[in-house]
Chains A and B, each alone.
Chain A
Amino acid sequence: MTCEEVRELLSLYIDGNLDPSTREALEKHIESCAECEAELAGLRQTVEILRSLEEVEVPETFRSSLMEKVREVEPARAPGLKSRFAKMFSTGPRRALVLAAAALILVVAVNSGMGTLQFGEPLRLGKSPSVSADYAARSSTPSSGTTVPKPAPAPAAPPVASTEQALTTKQMAPAGAGVAAPNVGGQTTYDITQTVEREVIKRASLQVESPQGQFDDASRQVMFIVEANGGFIQDSSVFTDGDQKRTANFNIRVPVDNFTKVLTQIEALGKVQGRSMGTQDVTDQFIDLEAYIASREIQQSRLRDLLSKAKTVDEILRIENELNRLRSEIDSMKGRIRYLKNAVEMSSINLALREYRVIPDPSKPDLWKDMWNAFVRSVRNIAILLGQVVPYLAVAWFVWFLYVTAKKK
């Protein structure tokens, strides 16, 4: 198979629409051709990106305004066939007039020598300037501010802005109380700059099938790929099913930067049977947690102030109790933040690697095996033949023996 042929077939390959022999030939080629392999990876990634595109939401007013229009059309349909015929007749003459006029124009046009070529010509002429206009529009896209690419970030921005506002107001209230204002204020601005970038947890689960002989190799490859990309295998298990086929489950964590890379590499290990990807935006959780911690810390320092002014043992104990409670709360929230950060930095991949039995290909016969089988078969046939013939032979020999001895007498 040549590179060009392979490239023609890449899409069909990705979609699993190739017959087994072509697929094998293509895989063989790709194994030996780095360029085609890169082509495949790029194409896979493109398809993946397309498939992971969010569906756009239908505007809320869409259905209601559509149904309004539908209900307007309704009366025209409701009266049924009879009146529709009547309507057709009533509009009949007018329609006939229009048709006649159109026919007349056509006849005149054809007669005056506007051949098919010329019919095509003005059409093409009419099209080309608009095409170039389209190009012009495209080239201006990056420079002009309010173009199509804009709407998407726009809705993303307001929520951030509003949470930011909520955050600052939350912060402002205790700060107004006059405790540790500069310290907390500084921290808040830091948090905001950080949260402008969304914190997104990425996840994927993959089901890959690998032929029987290559299963162990594929499992080793998985570990190798993961380690080479700075990830680790959180847990793994292997079990054998009733058909003596093995399935290995891997829980993989990889740095978010290598997420797609690892996915494509693992997918290349066998036949991809299923794939799902998902993301979870935890930016809001971060913001909330950080705001909570900040407010708890303010409370903490206020309690410490009170503690220094406390006079009775009872007061001291109660404040200490409260401080302890706050500290453990803060600790658990910080732990949660650590957990989230880790989840954002390390994407998780759930991989099920299954073994499948290779059915011997009838197109490649094994000569020696066939010969041996034929030999065994023929030995068996001869034995059967003997079994059939020997008793008769014995009887015939006995009869002949009697005949000979009788003759001798």
Chain B
Amino acid sequence: MALSETALLDECRRGNASAFEKLVVLYEKKVYNLAFRMVGNHEDASDIAQEAFLKVYTSLDQFRGESSFSTWLYRVVSNACLDELRHRARHKVVSIDTPVSPEDPSPRQIPSKDPEPGHGIERAEVSNAVQQGIKELPDDHRIILVLRDIQGLSYEEIAQVLNMPLGTVKSRLNRARLSLRDRLQSMELFSTLGVRTGERGESR
């Protein structure tokens, strides 16, 4: 795996676009999901993810394998997200909440894994509430939370990706989780789950 990845990287450095496409196939899901959880809508996520991949492609010669490729990739994407959010905060661009295109929101969210079209109202509601909760966290907390609990990186990897001391990662992650929990609790998400399923039981 590692070998074929370095081979792919070499090919990419030589300007082989189809080798790069293979890399994109390998990592697009991670990259896209990270961007989506960070900016909260598909249009911006798509833009950021593409921009990040382009940056990777054009600056591959700067990657010399001091870290693993995925760490480096995560760093590029994280920076792209944080830049975008900073830019947005400074210029008060469009709110995150603005619908991408009101006429046609359909091709946006396609549930993965499951071949079936829907995912259950509760599930969608929970994931919306969580997304909402995540969105309300400060950027520098949110990115750590997303990297750890959604992308599954280790503390050390996160410290590398964000170029910060391990202690900062630890304390910020804890604070981020605590404040997300407070938000979820204030949305009564924990209890609603039970109530809703209870209702369904009775209606049958």
Provide the main secondary structure of the chain B interface: helix
Which chain B residues lie closer than 8 Å to A144 at the CB level?
97
Which of under 10, 10 to 19, 20 to 34, or 35 or more describes the interface residues of B? 35 or more
Contact: B50 with A11, CB < 8 Å?
no
* A 37-56 binary contact with B (CB < 8 Å = 1; else 0): 00000110111011101111
State which residues 22-67 of A face B: CB under 8 Å. 42-43, 45-47, 49-51, 53-60, 62-63, 65-67
- The reply to whether the CB of B49 lies closer than 8 angstroms to some CB of chain A is yes
The reply to whether the CB of B64 lies closer than 8 angstroms to some CB of chain A is no
Interface residue tally for chain A (C-beta within 8 Å) = 78
A155 B106 Cβ-Cβ under 8 A: yes
Within A194-211, the residues touching B (CB, 8 Å) are 194, 196-198, 200
Q: Given A11-B173, A153-B125, A156-B118, verify A77-B15 contact (CB < 8 Å).
A: yes
Of the residues B15, B29, B181, B198, contact of A74 by C-beta under 8 Å: B15
Most buried by A among B17, B54, B131: B17
Identify whether the interface residues of A are mostly helix, strand, loop, or mixed: helix
> In the complex, what distance in Å separates the CA atom of A56 from the CA atom of B24?
16
Chain A 155-166, CB within 8 Å of chain B: the 1/0 string? 111111000000
Q: Bound state CA distance, A200 and B159, in angstroms?
A: 38
**B109 to A152, Cβ gap below 8 A?**
yes
Q: Which of B90, B109, B113, B145 has the most chain A CB within a 10 Å cutoff?
A: B109
Inter-chain contact B118/A133, CB cutoff 8 Å:
no
User: Which residues of chain B are within 8 angstroms of A74 by Cβ–Cβ distance?
Assistant: 15, 17
Residue B65 at the chain A interface, CB threshold 8 Å: no
- Check if B120 sits within 8 Å of A130, measured CB to CB: no
A146 adjacent to chain B (CB < 8 Å): yes
Contacts of B185 in A (CB 8 A): 42
Q: Which of B95, B99, B130, B200 contacts A50 (CB 8 A)?
A: B130
Whether A129 lies near B92 (C-beta < 8 A) is yes
Chain A-chain B contacts (Cβ-Cβ < 8 Å), number: 228
The distance in angstroms between the C-alpha atoms of A197 and B123, with both chains bound, is 11
- Verify if B163 is at the interface (C-beta below 8 Å from A): no
Cross-chain contact B112 with A154 (CB below 8 angstroms): no
Q: Which of B89, B106, B136, B173 contacts A158 (CB 8 A)?
A: B106
Q: Which of B106, B118, B121, B126 has the most CB of A within 10 A?
A: B118
Which of A55, A58, A127 is in CB contact (< 8 Å) with B90? A127
B109:A151 contact, CB within 8 angstroms: yes
* Residues A45 and B92 in contact in the complex (CB < 8 Å), given A50-B130, A53-B127: no
Q: A63 is contacted by which of B28, B54, B91, B177 (Cβ under 8 Å)?
A: B28
Provide the residues of chain B in CB contact with A53, threshold 8 Å: 127, 130, 150
Q: Are B109 and A197 in contact, with the CB atoms below 8 A? A: no
Please measure, in the bound complex, the distance between the C-alpha atom of A196 and the C-alpha atom of B121, giving whole angstroms: 9
Is A11 a contact partner of B174 (Cβ separation < 8 A)?
yes
Any chain B CB within 8 A of the CB of A367? no
Which B positions have Cβ atoms within 8 angstroms of A?
A: 15, 17, 20-21, 24-25, 28-29, 32-33, 36, 40-42, 45-46, 49-50, 53-54, 57-58, 88-92, 95-97, 99, 102, 105-114, 116-132, 135-136, 145, 148-150, 152, 155, 170-171, 173-174, 177-178, 180-181, 184-185, 189-190, 193-194, 197-198, 200-201, 203-204
List 18 A-B residue pairs with CB atoms under 8 Å apart, sorted by A's residue number: A42-B185, A43-B181, A46-B177, A50-B149, A56-B36, A57-B112, A60-B107, A62-B49, A62-B50, A67-B21, A67-B24, A131-B89, A133-B95, A152-B128, A156-B117, A197-B203, A198-B120, A283-B116
